[in-house]
Amino acid sequence: MSIGSGRRAVIVGVAECDLGVTGLSILELQTQAVTRALADAGLPLRDVDGLACTSVARFSATQLADYLGIQPVWQDSTFAGGSAFEMFVARAAQAIEAGQAETIVISFASNQRSAKSRSMGNIFEAHTPEAQFEGPYGPLYPLSHYAMAAQRYLHESGAARADLAEVAVAAREWALLNPKAFRYEAGPLSIDDVLSSKLISSPVSAADCCLVTDGGGAIVMTTADRAAALPKPPVRVLGYGECTTHTAMATPEDLLATGAEISGARAFAMAGMSPADIDVVQIYDSFTITVLLSLEGLGFCERGAAWQFIKDGAIRPGGSFPLNTSGGGLSYCHPGQFGVLLLVEAVRQLRGECGDRQVDGARTALAHGTGGILSTSATVILGVEA
């Protein structure tokens, strides 16, 4: 087996399934995502020999393979919430480069809004320590953990709730440029709108929280050799890293130190790049605080400084730091595990397909997924030839 540059794994197809309120089943939405991404790649379903997905069923990739009528020789259903898809890109690249698979599809879809399946309470499995030592106190999951991180952040950094709100305001500005965004026609959001929205778990208000929608997406990866004959410019996987830190709310010694510090450092080291080399950034915005902590952990700014870093419109359209250009989980789509859509938007930006929200000349992109309660972090750095 030769592992030359021709086997280097690249991304050749991306797509969303229907978004918003669909009334469709999870498997129909998954099928939309997979078939549309394959069409985007110019590859037939029969060429898919690897499959990675979550949340279809107890045996997720197995279930989806059966539904699609394929028999993959590689699969992954690593369950790491919204960071799983950045992990899948890493594992898929490794599998392709090791010759274990030729063409891998990574997908996710959920109908959580249509099915009203989202619940924030009593979600702890009875055999876990959290059921004994955390559930009895009534934390909202995952919200109350992020709320405690936000409270600590305000305490340590000197930021105010309005500084968190800027993340939601900027996301809305981007969503107004994205016809597929759930809030595309909702009009702008002001800082005061966020501050006056209903407090759910202080200091987090409803407008600090991501949407609850149906939706999903898929990514097709194959070898650089194969990609040469395909219609879309291949997107290279330049670096990746991940870190799993905790699952109980009481475990982190420091609420403000996230796994992004390690996942980001590993991704940048592998790519031979630094934060200054990235043209467009997609960070999982489950809550406004998640973005601030991730920006700091990834090294785009110092600890405690992200609220100043994003001031003055830096992350709004036209600003100096293009972030979450789809409108993010806050204003575009949040089907429960947003990590796959971070990658879809990053690829589209690198291909120059983003219309009114296109970042001119984007050649490098970073996608950073977070799962659970800041439990898992995974970073992917992508690039296209200049």
Partner 1 sequence: MSSSSETGAELPPVDAVTQPWWDATRDHRLLLQTCASCGAVQHYPRALCIACGGTDLGWTDSLGAAVVDSFTVVHRELPGFDAPYVVARVRLAEGPILLTNLVDADVESWACDVAVSVRWRDLDDGRALPVFAPAGISTSGGAI
- Which chain residues interact with partner 1 by CB under 8 A? 120-122, 126-127, 129, 131-140, 144, 147-149, 151-152, 155, 198-204, 248-251, 253, 255
Measured in degrees and rounded to the nearest 5, phi and psi for residue 34 equal -65, -50
CB atoms within 10 A of CB 168: 28
Token code pair at residue 373: 């309660």
CB of 373 to partner 1, least distance (A): 11
Closest Cα to residue 268, out of 364, 361, 385, 348?
A: 364
Nearer to partner 1, 136 or 179 (CB): 136
Nearer to partner 1, 19 or 149 (CB): 149
Separation of alpha carbons 357 and 4, rounded Å: 36
CB of 372 to partner 1, least distance (A): 15
Nearer to partner 1, 137 or 318 (CB): 137
- Whether 240 is a known active-site residue: answer no
Nearer to partner 1, 31 or 245 (CB): 245
Cβ burial 55-85 (10 Å sphere, 16+ → b, else e): bbbeebbbbbbebbebebebbbbbebbbbbb
- Whether 184 is a known active-site residue: answer no
CB of 41 to partner 1, least distance (A): 42
Collapsing DSSP states into helix, strand and coil, what is residue 208? helix
Task: Decide the pairing of beta strands 215-223 and 364-371.
Answer: unpaired
Separation of alpha carbons 83 and 340, rounded Å: 8
CB of 177 to partner 1, least distance (A): 32
CB of 131 to partner 1, least distance (A): 6
DSSP state of 220: E
Nearer to partner 1, 34 or 147 (CB): 147
User: Is the CB of residue 212 less than 8 Å from the CB of residue 118?
Assistant: yes
CB of 199 to partner 1, least distance (A): 5
- Catalytic pick among 141, 153, 240, 332: 332
- Mention every residue, 6+ apart, whose C-beta is less than 8 A from residue 188: 169, 172, 173, 176
Cα radius of gyration rounded to whole Å, the chain? 19
Cross-strand pairs, 378: 242, 369
Measured in degrees and rounded to the nearest 5, phi and psi for residue 58 equal -60, -40
Closest Cα to residue 329, out of 215, 161, 201, 196?
A: 215
CB of 143 to partner 1, least distance (A): 8
Nearer to partner 1, 20 or 304 (CB): 304
DSSP state of 223: E
Nearer to partner 1, 191 or 199 (CB): 199
DSSP structure string for 349-367 = HHHT--GGG--TT--EEEE
Cross-strand pairs, 150: none
Measured in degrees and rounded to the nearest 5, phi and psi for residue 223 equal -85, 155
Residues catalogued as catalytic: 284, 332
